[in-house]
Amino acid sequence: MSAESTIPQAETKEFQAEVKKMLDIVIHSLYTEKEIFLRELISNSADALEKFRHQQLLEQEVFDSHVPLEITIDCDEKNHTITITDTGIGMDRGELEANLGTIAHSGSKTFFSQLSEGDQKNVHLIGQFGVGFYAAFMVADTVRVTSRSFRQDDMGHEWVSDGAGTYTITMCPGIRRGTSITLELKEDAHHFANESTLTRIIKQYSSFVPFPIKVKGEAVNTVQALWTRSKSEIKNEEYTEFYKYVANAFDEPLAHLHFTADAPLAIKALLFVPQENVESMGFGRLEPGVNLYCQRVLIEQHAKTILPEWLRFVKGVIDSEDLPLNISRQALQDSALVMKINKVVTTRFLKFLDELSRSEPEQYGKFWQAFGVFLKEGAISDFGHRAEVAKLLRFESSTTEPGAVTSLKEYVERMAVGQKEIYYINGGSREAIEAGPYVEAFKKRGIEVLYTLEAIDDFALNHVGEFDGKKLVSADRGDIDLPETAKGTEAEQEAAAALPDKEAEELVTWMQGVLGERVKEVKESKRLSGSPAMIVNPDGFLTSSMERVMRASGQNVPDFGKKVLEINTSHPLLKGLNNLRTTDELLAKSVVEQIFDNAMIQAGLMVEPRIMVERTYKILARLVGNDA
Ligand code: ADP
């Protein structure tokens, strides 16, 4: 008894909740650009054909091996139906249920369950994601899918739904391999059941499908692999159209790279950078976007290992004749050849970005804004490409205009003779950094400081380590050696205003006693001028911002309890404190604790708000003369 015979002939099931939501959006909100339904369905058919072509290379026995690989489209103007048929891989009962009744990709799932009312009408936004098969319900009241898998033991099924919450699956023996989708068109979509309309839409959206698409028996596309043609023959519009096809996009690409290499490996690649970073828009983690081909046969769609994971925003095609055609997915994962292709293409792509930054700085600026975060991820995770990525990093700095960015190379070019290190400091905003204590000493000496405004930045720079032989150093490090400031300057006046050495030493020791275990050390600062105190990191490896991120993500971090508190003994607060400790030690101790907490806050580190607020009230009560 086969497993099939124990399953009822016809079965009606509920769609998964997220599918219902998606269908609701598709049916009620996506009014414009209805014609994309055809692109979505053809694209699924093309995928199914590519998968079949690859299976055929791997499996001995496939069902209906002789039928040509193609997509046929028929329409019936009288009965208002369109049928899209492919001879692809097909789906068995379980696959029909899983593929057409649920949304598998977790990012899409979250996206559709969280989509706001306003966003629901944003076709562009939803298009980024692709409603795929469900686009059929934009134009159809009823969608009928008959499918038979390539596996010998399948028997064929029909899946029917009106998109209202359920679907029914019935056995359907005697059909050919592949999938056939019949749309019973809604009244306002009747006009689509017309040969010339269908032909126009196919030419517009699906001209790059690598299989013949026939409308009423006539092929309407020219099957071509754009990436195998010579660059000089290809028009910009063709690149754009191909991008739309391969990336399932609606807009133009931000940039593209088309290259051919013969040695050491035969590679043809056509890579695109999209306009927008959908990952940062809350769409969940991107799937890789590059398809791997061998001699124009798709080996793996959205290939996982052909580019490093941090380049997952790149879309396009990589084709290498050197790959064996019958390589399995599994073998791809750990193929040394794939790793080599990966290396060659990644290096070439990074070089392309570097060139772009010089030839079209404005485009590169847009790229950096949208995708810089991926390069930072690369700097952290990809040792092999770290140096190339470092050239592409951009940051604001004390020298740039607000909002403008600079490269490490430009920073080095601006460095004064004798400066050996590149400095950076993290903060929530440019304003916060400039108002904080860390940049004071640098500003005074005319030394540029890069502003790292994102949490990931310090990790990236920390991993990069050095650039052009210059160490990258966070300005919140305790052991920075800055040159003396010129004589007769403000600094000298400040030094003169500072507490005498002996008193300063006593104050430091006393403060150290008050703070006890909370600090590694209190010391007199050589750097501060406007601010009374600051926290610096003695260990030289982690910056305060890195510590904050690690703590927030619950990572096991080494003992960070011990910070160094640097104090500015020429600041009136510290001078006053030095007097107060002899007249009212209790209050003076509270002031020390408050100075410490303030410095921690300026370093972006956590303090216990309850204790701090209570303490502040006590100090304030003293101030207003009513501390009973
Ligand atoms: P996506 O194509 O983005 O995965 P869809 O909702 O369009 O999402 O399709 C869901 C799944 O249904 C596909 O991944 C594929 O496995 C399957 N599918 C859709 N159309 C076909 C088809 N014509 N032939 C075979 N499988 C298909």
Domain ranges of the chain: 4-219, 226-357, 494-537+558-623
**Per-residue pLDDT, 540:** 65
Contact 155, 189 (CB under 8 A): no
Q: What is the distance in A from the centroid of ligand 1 to the CA of 472?
A: 48
22, 44, 83, 283: which to mutate for ligand 1, most atoms within 8 A of CB?
A: 44
Q: Hey, whose CA ends up nearest to atom 13 of ligand 1?
A: 99
Q: Hey, whose CA ends up nearest to atom 1 of ligand 1?
A: 132
Q: What is the distance in A from the centroid of ligand 1 to the CA of 179?
A: 10
Sheet containing 166-171, strands listed edge to edge, beginning at the edge strand earlier in sequence: 10-14, 166-171, 157-161, 140-148, 178-185, 81-86, 71-76, 213-215, 218-219
Q: Is the pLDDT of residue 608 over 70?
A: yes
179 lines ligand 1 (CB under 6 A): yes
Closest atom of ligand 1 to 108 CA is 3
Per-residue confidence at 321, pLDDT binned at 50, 70, 90? confident
Q: Comparing 124-128, 246-250, 435-439, which segment has the lowest mean pLDDT?
A: 124-128
Tell me whether strands 218-219 and 289-294 are parallel, antiparallel or unpaired. unpaired
Q: Token pair of 5, please?
A: 């015979």
Per-residue confidence at 494, pLDDT binned at 50, 70, 90? low
**Per-residue pLDDT, 1:** 42
Mean pLDDT of the chain: 89
pLDDT tens for each residue of 410-436 = 999 999 998 999 999 999 999 999 999
Q: What is the distance in A from the centroid of ligand 1 to the CA of 42?
A: 10
3-class secondary structure, 359 = helix
Tell me: domain 494-537+558-623, CATH 2.60.40.1120, correct? no
DSSP string, 447-511: --EEEE-SHHHHHHHHHH-EETTEEEEETTBTT--PPPPPTTSHHHHHHHHSPPHHHHHHHHHHH
pTM of the model: 0.75
Q: Hey, whose CA ends up nearest to atom 20 of ligand 1?
A: 44
What is the rounded average pLDDT of the residues 339-360? 97
Q: Is the pLDDT of residue 114 over 70?
A: no
Q: What is the distance in A from the centroid of ligand 1 to the CA of 44?
A: 5
**Per-residue pLDDT, 19:** 87
Tell the burial category of 546 from Cβ atoms under 10 Å away from its Cβ (0-12, 13-18, 19+): buried
Q: Which of 457, 407, 264, 287 is nearest to 348 (CA)?
A: 264
Tell me: domain 226-357, CATH 3.40.50.2300, correct? no
130 lines ligand 1 (CB under 6 A): yes
Q: What is the distance in A from the centroid of ligand 1 to the CA of 67?
A: 21
Q: Hey, whose CA ends up nearest to atom 11 of ligand 1?
A: 99
Q: 130 or 89: whose pLDDT is higher?
A: 89
Q: Hey, whose CA ends up nearest to atom 9 of ligand 1?
A: 133
**Per-residue pLDDT, 482:** 86
Q: What is the distance in A from the centroid of ligand 1 to the CA of 149?
A: 13
Q: What value, to the nearest 5°, has the Cα angle with vertex 95 and ends 110 and 160?
A: 90
Q: Which fold has domain 4-219?
A: Heat Shock Protein 90 (3.30.565)
Q: Token pair of 369, please?
A: 């804004």
250 lines ligand 1 (CB under 6 A): no
**Per-residue pLDDT, 245:** 84
Contact 475, 438 (CB under 8 A): yes
3-class secondary structure, 167 = strand
Q: Which of 7, 18, 71, 58 is nearest to 208 (CA)?
A: 71
96 lines ligand 1 (CB under 6 A): no
pLDDT tens for each residue of 196-240 = 999 999 887 777 788 999 998 889 887 778 999 999 999 999 999
pLDDT tens for each residue of 237-287 = 999 989 988 888 888 999 999 999 988 899 999 999 999 998 887 778 888
At 362, the amino acid letter reads E
50 lines ligand 1 (CB under 6 A): no
What is the rounded average pLDDT of the residues 322-332? 75
Q: What is the distance in A from the centroid of ligand 1 to the CA of 193?
A: 23
Q: Which of 80, 293, 278 is nearest to 194 (CA)?
A: 80
146 lines ligand 1 (CB under 6 A): no
Q: Comparing 191-195, 354-358, 454-458, 479-483, which segment has the lowest mean pLDDT?
A: 479-483
277 lines ligand 1 (CB under 6 A): no
529 lines ligand 1 (CB under 6 A): no
DSSP string, 22-82: HHHHHHHT--S-TTHHHHHHHHHHHHHHHHHHHHHHH-S--TTTTS---EEEEEETTTTEE
Q: Is the pLDDT of residue 65 over 70?
A: yes
C-alpha pair distances (Å), 140 with each of 126, 183, 198, 462: 19, 5, 15, 55
Q: What is the distance in A from the centroid of ligand 1 to the CA of 99?
A: 6
Q: What is the distance in A from the centroid of ligand 1 to the CA of 305?
A: 22
89 lines ligand 1 (CB under 6 A): yes
pLDDT tens for each residue of 365-410 = 999 999 999 999 999 999 999 999 999 999 999 999 999 999 999 9
What is the rounded average pLDDT of the residues 168-178? 94
99 lines ligand 1 (CB under 6 A): yes
Q: What is the distance in A from the centroid of ligand 1 to the CA of 136?
A: 12
86 lines ligand 1 (CB under 6 A): yes
Q: What is the distance in A from the centroid of ligand 1 to the CA of 160?
A: 15
19, 99, 103, 151: which to mutate for ligand 1, most atoms within 8 A of CB?
A: 99
210 lines ligand 1 (CB under 6 A): no
133, 159, 301: which to mutate for ligand 1, most atoms within 8 A of CB?
A: 133
48 lines ligand 1 (CB under 6 A): yes
